[in-house]
Amino acid sequence: MITAGLDLGTQSVKVVIVKDGKVVARSKAFSGFDPAQAAEQALGEALKEANLSMSDVRHVTSTGSGMEMAANSNSTVSMMGADAKAGVHLFPNARTIIDVGAEEARAVRCDDNGIMMDFVVNERCAAGAGAFIEAMARALEVKLEDMGLLSLKAERASSINASCVIFGESDVVSLIHKQESKPEIARAIFEAMADRVSSMVHRLGVNPEVLLVGGVAKDVGFVAALKRKLGVDILIPECPEYVGALGAALVAVNRVKKV
């Protein structure tokens, strides 16, 4: 059976096509001003990659903040539900799944069937999410993708306020003026973010195994800081930013079976 999962995130749309439990194509597009259009484009590209047409797809499930906008979708699933489903599919022993995206961080506790049992979402400010790293990279005049490696060069971290992206940015600017080293500032940024995310996860309980997904899971600086804060090993799947879409595609399989 072939199903598709669409994850309409705040920054990008991800598509995963699953055939008999295996991923056969992935595709991504910028959400921009028209997430529905982006989803259609990404879905088209994924189908092309897998040499399939829309009529081959039995069911499309969408997730993400824009899930209701997707025109081609047959059903929806919450982001937390999708994370739980995909997390346990990828790592059968995963019980805590942390998802850090562009503008939101969340964590899910699930059972061995990948059914979510509890979840937490960060407070409305994006200081614990990817947008924070972007803003800080801008302030440091460092490329976003270089931030992680830069932070790993530091032995210690400077101290910044991560209660708010805007205040954080002005903190970074004053640290630059004080001529603190860029690696130490970069490390401070990840420490501050990891602080926010880990206290959120602690509210849920840290139940191993712990899985980190979402675009920010690709950032080695953040991963190192979160490991230090949580004090446990953290698993990271390949293509962590596609986990939500994968979860949706797997939920789609169940939806077909139910009907």
Partner 1 sequence: MKSQSEEKKYMPELSEKEVEELRKAITDTSQRVVAENIEKMKKADQNRPEAMNYFDEIADFAQREKEIRAAKKEGKKVIGYMCLHAPTELILAADAIPVRVNSGWYDASKLGDRIVPVEVCPMVRSTIGAKMIALSPYLELSDALISVLTCDAMTKLGEILSDYTPVWAMTVPRVKDSAQSIRLWNEEIKAIKAQIEALTGNTIKGKQLKSAIERTQKATKAFRRLQDLRKGPPVIMGRDAMLVNQTYMWDDIDRWTEKTEALCDELEKRVSQKNWVCPTDTPRVMITGTPMIWPDNWKVPTLVEEANPQGILVADELCSSERLLYDPVGVDEWSISDMLNAIGERYLMASTCPCFTSEDGNEDRINWLLTKIKDWNIQGVIYYVVRGCMLYAMEYTRVKKVLDRNNIPVYYLDTEYTREDVGQMKTRVEAFLEMLSARIDI
- 136 makes contact with partner 1 (CB under 8 A): no
Tell me which DSSP letter residue 94 carries. Answer: -
Residue from the set 65, 73, 151, 158 that interacts with partner 1 by CB under 8 A: 65
What does the block give as tokens for 201?
A: 């996860």
CB-nearer residue toward partner 1: 138 or 202 = 202
- Minimum gap (Å) between residue 131 Cβ and partner 1: 15
R_g of the chain, CA atoms, integer Å: 19
Rounded Cα distance between 141 and 75, Å, is 42
Kindly report the number of other CB atoms within 10 A of residue 224's CB atom: 18
CB-nearer residue toward partner 1: 66 or 240 = 66
- Minimum gap (Å) between residue 104 Cβ and partner 1: 9
- Minimum gap (Å) between residue 79 Cβ and partner 1: 7
Residue from the set 22, 124, 143, 178 that interacts with partner 1 by CB under 8 A: 124
- Minimum gap (Å) between residue 246 Cβ and partner 1: 17
- Minimum gap (Å) between residue 187 Cβ and partner 1: 30
Rounded Cα distance between 47 and 80, Å, is 26
Report the alpha-carbon angle 67-73-79, nearest 5.
35
CB-nearer residue toward partner 1: 12 or 65 = 65
β-bridge partners, 48: none
Pick the closest to residue 187 from 147, 215, 217, 218 (CA basis). 147
Cα 122 to Cα 48, 85, 96: the distances in Å are: 37, 20, 15
- Minimum gap (Å) between residue 233 Cβ and partner 1: 25
Residue from the set 18, 43, 77, 140 that interacts with partner 1 by CB under 8 A: 77
CB-nearer residue toward partner 1: 77 or 86 = 77
Rounded Cα distance between 132 and 154, Å, is 19
CB-nearer residue toward partner 1: 118 or 134 = 118
Buried-exposed string 59-81: b where 16+ CB fall within 10 A, e elsewhere: bbbbbbbbbebbeebbbbbbbbb
CB-nearer residue toward partner 1: 81 or 168 = 81
Q: Is the peptide bond before 104 cis (omega within 30 degrees of 0)?
A: no
CB-nearer residue toward partner 1: 106 or 187 = 106
- 78 makes contact with partner 1 (CB under 8 A): yes
3-class secondary-structure state, position 143 = coil
- 81 makes contact with partner 1 (CB under 8 A): yes
- Scan residues 83-122 and list those touching partner 1 (CB under 8 A): 113, 115-121
User: What is the binding site for partner 1 (CB under 8 A)?
Assistant: 65, 76-81, 113, 115-121, 123-124
